[in-house]
Every structure is written in structure tokens, then in C-alpha cells.
Amino acid sequence: MIIAIDGPSGAGKSTLGKMLAKRFDLLYLDTGAMYRAVALAVTRAGVPFWDVDRIAEIAETARIDLIGEPDAMKVFLDDDDVSAEIRTLDAAQAASVVSTISEVRRIMVEHQRAIGMAAPNGCVLEGRDIGSVVFPKADIKFFLTAEPEARAHRRFAEDQAKGRISTYEQTLAEINERDERDVSREDSPLTIADDAMVLDTSELSLNEVFEQMAAKVRARQSAAA
Ligand code: DC
């Protein structure tokens, strides 16, 4: 069973993806974490963002591992635990930039397909291009979205809880900037796959959205049985 969850930043993909993976005993793959790890490797190597060839080389050679249960997943870059470092605002912006490079995407998509196919019970993958490019034949596709203001409020509250210094206005501006880059890039922009179930999380509680997603998975399981 391959479940694709796509959508803009802050729509609840990670939280809901982890919940689904746990409920149905599936592997959980946060593909954004992979782009963030590549971006960090690029920054650490001091390579400028215009140097596409060197960035592709880094994407090819960097070893990125996502290890552990969905709730406690750790991200390793060449054996270094970078789980916290990839969650900064700078890392998010850098990931959004390196993810516009086609060669980087080709390498990441290849890894993501291999991981998804190898998962014994199946996999929940979340990102921007899962239903459109990585697994166009996914068993189920969800597209989670919400108004930018609702997403910014959520992100801001998370940042506050983690003790990060920012303002709501900065968070909203950052979300708008990243959305713009993610939907307008040439290669695999964020789009809603034709056969995706679209859920707007602005007005619904997390549990309401989760129950709709879980019902869809159960229906698919019964149809396949
Ligand atoms: O989901 P996230 O915020 O951790 O993703 C970070 C960036 O990586 C995001 O701005 C766009 C990019 N990304 C992508 O292009 N394709 C994916 N499948 C996942 C993330």
C-alpha cells in the first residue's frame, strides 16, 4: 500500500502522515527531510546555490538516512544526526531552493521509490510531488491544504513552543515565499494530482481530518481484500 500525501508547508502533512503510518503499521517517509539534508550538506560544503553541478554531485554522494519510529524519527547526514539542524528556517528556505534543481530531484525521487517499494507493509510518503511524480500510481493520494494564515498560525505556535525567535508576520512571509517557489518551479511543481482527495485543514480539527483519511484507507483495504 502506497499512500501519497502532498500539500504546501504547514498543512499538517507530517502530523497526519505519522498518525496514518502508526494506525496502519506502514513506513513513514518525510521526503522534505531529504531535501533539507541535501541543502544542509550544500551549506556545510560552502557551495553557492548557483553551482548546480556541484550541488548535484553532493546530492549523489551524500548519505541520507531516516531512522526510527515516525514520532521519533532521526535524520542522519553521513552518520551525523542532523534532525534538529534541518528544522531551522534557513534550512527550510535552502531546501526549497535546492529542490528546484532537476538533477537533485531525480536522485531524491529514485531513493524515495526504492524506500517505498522495499517497505514490507507499504509506505506513507509526504512531500510536494509524491502523487504526481514519485508514485503516480499510489493506492491513495491525499492533498492537504489550508489558508496561508492558518498554516502560519500553526507554524508560529510550533516555533514558539520550541523557543524559536520569530514573529507571526515573519512566519507568514516565509510560508508565502516558500509556497511561491514550490508551485512555480519548472520541475515537479506542487500540484494537485487528478485523483487526489483534497482536504482543507483550515477549519477542521486534526482528528476530523485524520478520521476522513483513515476511512479512505480502510475502504481501500476492504476493496483489495
Ligand atoms: O516538507 P518540507 O517543508 O520539509 O520541505 C522542504 C522543502 O523541500 C520544500 O519547500 C520543498 C521541497 N520539497 C520538494 O520539493 N519535494 C518534496 N517531495 C518534498 C519537499
CATH number for 89: 3.40.50.300
The region that residue 77 occupies, defined by phi over 0 for left and psi between -120 and 50 for alpha, beta otherwise, is: beta
- Total domains in the chain come to 1
Q: Is 129 in the pocket of ligand 1 (CB under 6 A)?
A: yes
Query: How many residues make up the chain in this entry?
Result: 225
Digit-by-digit pLDDT tens for the chain (225 residues) are 999 999 999 999 999 999 999 999 999 999 999 999 999 999 999 999 999 999 999 999 999 999 999 889 999 999 999 999 998 888 988 999 999 999 999 999 999 999 999 999 999 999 999 999 999 999 999 999 999 999 999 989 988 888 878 899 999 999 999 899 999 999 999 999 999 999 999 989 999 999 999 999 999 999 988
Domain that holds residue 32: 2-224
Calculate the alpha carbon distances from 171 to 62, 83, 92, 148, 190 in Å: 30, 21, 12, 10, 20
Q: What is the DSSP letter of 99?
A: T
Model-level pTM? Answer: 0.94
Cα of 8 from ligand 1 centre, angstroms: 8
- Give the Cα separation of 70 and 28 in Å (integer): 6
Q: For residue 165, report the distance from its CA to the centre of ligand 1, in Å.
A: 22
- The helix/strand/coil state of 142 is strand
Alpha helices, DSSP H only, in 25-65? Answer: 31-44, 52-61
